Amino acid sequence: MNRKYRRPLIAGNWKMNKTPSETREFVTGFKAMLPKLRRCDIALCVPAVCIPAAVKGARDSRIAIGAQTCSAFASGAYTGEISAAMLKDAGCKYVILGHSERRAMGETDKNIHAKLLTALDSGLTPILCCGESPEQRELGVTEPWITMQLRAALAGIPPEKLRTVVVAYEPIWAIGTGQTATPDQAESVCAHIRAVLRKQYGAKTARAVVILYGGSMNGNNAAQLLAQPDIDGGLIGGASLDPQKLLCIVEAASCEAE
């Protein structure tokens, strides 16, 4: 983390877990546990139906609420979809875009680009995910792959908008596997992400962008990962479902710079 230019962010991605009632219970408990000092930003990206309960529960706290995807369209005949403007109006600050689990369900770089545009237009902060498969890592094509994913998603985004985008590096082989990337592996790709942004947008803009690592992050490995200069926080799956486990990561992010 480099606190001079960026504020750390710990974001939970609940995926398809928890009901609205469980959300209420979680947020009430988690809110009460949080340290007083606001040394990092905190977000919970919850299932769409849980957003109202999460927003209500997190009121007057430092917890921001996010969604896990949004429609690529602003409005219209798209049965089952939820627009970025609806999420914003419901009280969301963030939206995860391009998660590998959604890419595996058929989401393309083109879809993700369209979603990013509508999210930014609606005033949401996108958490743009990228990451390589185990095969791609094995083949040694991680960096060109990530470059391609970033360029495709960010095509035409001006620098003032890019500053509000959060990028999450999530190696697919580390998601839900317990096989965390080593701090060196994670830093090397996060530094590459910043280099790609620097080339396109210049140093000043690139150093303002918050870059997260995601993939089996937990209370035991968070401090080491967050000590890396280009890792500004975490996107947490499994460990974000338990308030105590998530708190451990928030604490790691809060004391790293002491």
Which contacts qualify for 136-142: CB closer than 8 Å, 24 or more apart? 137/171, 137/173, 142/171, 142/189
Residue 122 interacting with ligand 13P (CB under 6 A)? no
Number of residues that bind ligand 13P (CB under 6 A): 14
Residues forming a β-bridge with 97: 128
Q: Write the interaction track for ligand 13P spanning residues 125-154; mark x where CB under 6 A is met and - where it is not.
A: ------------------------------
Nearer to ligand 13P, 236 or 247 (CB): 236
Token pair for residue 51? Answer: 């957003």
Say if strands 9-13 and 41-45 run parallel, antiparallel, or are unpaired.
parallel
How many residues does the structure list for the chain? 258
Select the span of 58-66, 69-77, 117-125, 215-223 touching ligand 13P (CB under 6 A). 215-223
Q: How far is the CB of 217 from ligand 13P (least distance, A)?
A: 6
Tokens 């917890």 belong to 63
> Which residue in the set 8, 66, 233, 238 belongs to the binding site for ligand 13P (CB under 6 A)?
238
Residue 14, class by beta-carbon neighbours within 10 Å (0-12 exposed, 13-18 middle, 19+ buried)?
buried
99 is catalytic: yes
Q: Is 192 a catalytic residue?
A: no
| 111 vs 201 by CB, closer to ligand 13P | 111
Q: Is 176 in the site for ligand 13P (CB under 6 A)?
A: yes
- Count of H helices and E strands in the chain? 12, 8
Q: What angle do CA 155, 85, 154 make, to 5 degrees?
A: 10
236 counts as binding ligand 13P under rule CB under 6 A: yes
Whole-angstrom Cα distance, residue 217 to residue 234? 7
The answer to the question of residue 216 lying near ligand 13P (CB under 6 A) is yes
- Among positions 126, 215, 233, 243, the unique one binding ligand 13P when judged by CB under 6 A: 215
Which of 10, 46, 51, 235: binder of ligand 13P (CB under 6 A)?
A: 235
Judged by CB under 6 A, the stretch of 71-79, 108-116, 132-140, 232-240 that binds ligand 13P is: 232-240
Q: Where does this chain touch ligand 13P (CB under 6 A) — which range of 2-10, 114-122, 209-217, 246-254?
A: 209-217
Tokens of 28: 């009430």
Q: Which of 17, 8, 10 is nearest to 238 (CA)?
A: 17
Residue 103 main-chain phi, psi, to 5 deg: -60, -40
What SS3 class is residue 95?
strand
Residues in contact with ligand 13P by CB under 6 A are 13, 99, 170, 175-176, 214-217, 235-239
Q: Which residues are catalytic?
A: 99, 170
